[in-house]
Amino acid sequence: MLNIALFGPPGAGKGTHSAYLVERFNLIYISTGELLREEIKNDTDIGREVRETMAAGGLVSDEIIVQIIEKTIIENPNASGFLFDGFPRTFVQAYILEGLMIKLNTSLNCLINLDVPEDVSTARLLKRAETSGRSDDNEQVIRNRLREYHEKTLPVLQFYREKGQEHDIDATRTVEEVRGDIMRVLEKELEKNHFNLVLFGYPGSGLSSQGIALAEKFGLEYISTARLIRGEIDNHTEIGMRIHEIYEAGELVPDETVVRLIEKKLSNSIGARGFIFKGIPRTLVQSYILDGMLRKHGSGISKIINLEVPVLEVVRRLDARGHTELGMPYDANTGYIVKRLQEHETRTIPVINKYRQHREVVNVDGTGTFDQVFARLSAVVEAGMNTSR
């Protein structure tokens, strides 16, 4: 989910920017002002109580606010995210929102503070009053609303600032300039929502072809240690020549080299929706390394799949691949093939078992045609992406 709160005094432009963000990210818009006016329009019990309070420029009670917001949330159980406009307005409401997010098994990503001086806010509201027809858009009410804002709402900034979730944006500029700053904040938040898939399986189980196809279908970046390494070898770099010697001996590339190559790939993939990792982690040490790299980028592993192919079928595939231009150095030698399979069993399977202790590892049947296996994998990935939204 992408859950955003837009914060700012009356006249800061929250409504304008909310409309754009709701459409851009397909969010459910929750404006306490609009919800309350709807109650007034329908002349409900809540509406009649609210009418007097709003006409005097006061804040509606938390009890009423919670009722109408919770109702909206419950009515949208499959929402991809919420945008809160006008809530939270008080320190207490900040805690209320935390509780509502817990109920959704999610959290608020960030609070964006549209910073506008009082004189600018007043001028904007008075200009709006000329055409809005709203009873609460007059000078006395405006002054009351701004006083309420400064006395009760500003502490909310400190609440989220202490949590590292508050972002100040100068909202006195043009809509386009303010929107640009908002988008830069949200792009960083979206990076934290990466969908990161780790593919496990014996060498020769089809991870490369399936991983590439999955990345294309779901708009993810494919990161294969073999592909990164082959690039170094093909370009005859110093690292590539050292790696070639290691492969000739049927050994694994040192973790230091793997880390540098993957870190470079992650850093260069700006704006990526997520990553598919093939070839890492192959060892317990590499599992901690990958967790650390993803955490550095504000993310983590979203889904783990183990592609299951019988060992004899894997040996047949590797032997056949060894006679093609796609073959790796160790594919052409039965001894090396056996060694690679043994390394998978002794070093990589423990990694899979480690993950199983704390999270789900989905086993997928890797036998059959490419399309059959791809359909099975796609179903798992799609379900995972829907769950992580």
Q: What is the pLDDT of residues 121-132, one digit of tens each?
A: 888 888 877 776
Q: Are residues 118 and 55 in the same domain?
A: yes
Instruction: Report d(CA 164, CA 187) in Å as an integer.
Output: 16
Report the chain's mean pLDDT, rounded to a whole number.
85
pLDDT on residue 132: 66
pLDDT on residue 327: 53
Q: Are residues 183 and 208 in the same domain?
A: no
Q: Bin 59: left if φ > 0, else alpha if -120 < ψ < 50, else beta.
A: beta
* Chain segment 69-114, per-residue pLDDT in tens: 888 888 886 677 899 987 887 888 899 888 888 776 678 889 999 9
Structural domains counted in the chain: 2
pLDDT at 342 > cutoff 80: yes
Residue position matching structure tokens 């405006």 = 142
Mean predicted confidence (pLDDT) in 165-178: 94
pLDDT on residue 178: 96
Distances (CA, A) of 256 to 231, 248, 278: 17, 19, 17
Q: Which of 192, 217, 247 is the last residue of a domain?
A: 192
Q: Are residues 14 and 107 in the same domain?
A: yes
Please give the single-letter amino acid code of residue 342: Q
pLDDT on residue 90: 81
Which candidate, 313, 304, 320, places its Cα nearest to that of 367?
313
Q: Is the peptide bond before 281 cis (omega within 30 degrees of 0)?
A: yes
pLDDT on residue 264: 82
Share of the chain above pLDDT 90, in %: 30
pLDDT on residue 52: 85
Which candidate, 301, 297, 228, places its Cα nearest to that of 261?
228
Q: Are residues 168 and 205 in the same domain?
A: no
Crossing angle of the two packed helices 45-55 and 62-74, in degrees rounded to 10: 130
Residue 342, domain extent: 195-388
Q: Are residues 285 and 373 in the same domain?
A: yes
Which candidate, 318, 301, 309, places its Cα nearest to that of 356?
301
Name 384's Cβ contacts closer than 8 Å, sequence gap at least 6. Answer: 195, 197, 302, 303
pLDDT on residue 270: 64
Q: Are residues 99 and 245 in the same domain?
A: no
Mean predicted confidence (pLDDT) in 362-373: 95
Higher per-residue confidence, 267 vs 64? 64
Which candidate, 151, 44, 160, places its Cα nearest to that of 95?
160
Q: Which of 134, 158, 192 is the last residue of a domain?
A: 192
Is 128 strand, coil or helix? Answer: helix
- Angle, vertex CA 149, rays to CA 147 and CA 154, nearest 5: 125
Q: Are residues 297 and 366 in the same domain?
A: yes
Q: Are residues 40 and 128 in the same domain?
A: yes
* Chain segment 293-335, per-residue pLDDT in tens: 887 776 788 899 999 999 989 888 887 776 665 555 555 567 7
CATH at residue 184: 3.40.50.300
Share of the chain above pLDDT 70, in %: 91
* Chain segment 262-294, per-residue pLDDT in tens: 888 887 776 678 899 998 998 899 999 998 888
Name 236's Cβ contacts closer than 8 Å, sequence gap at least 6. Answer: none
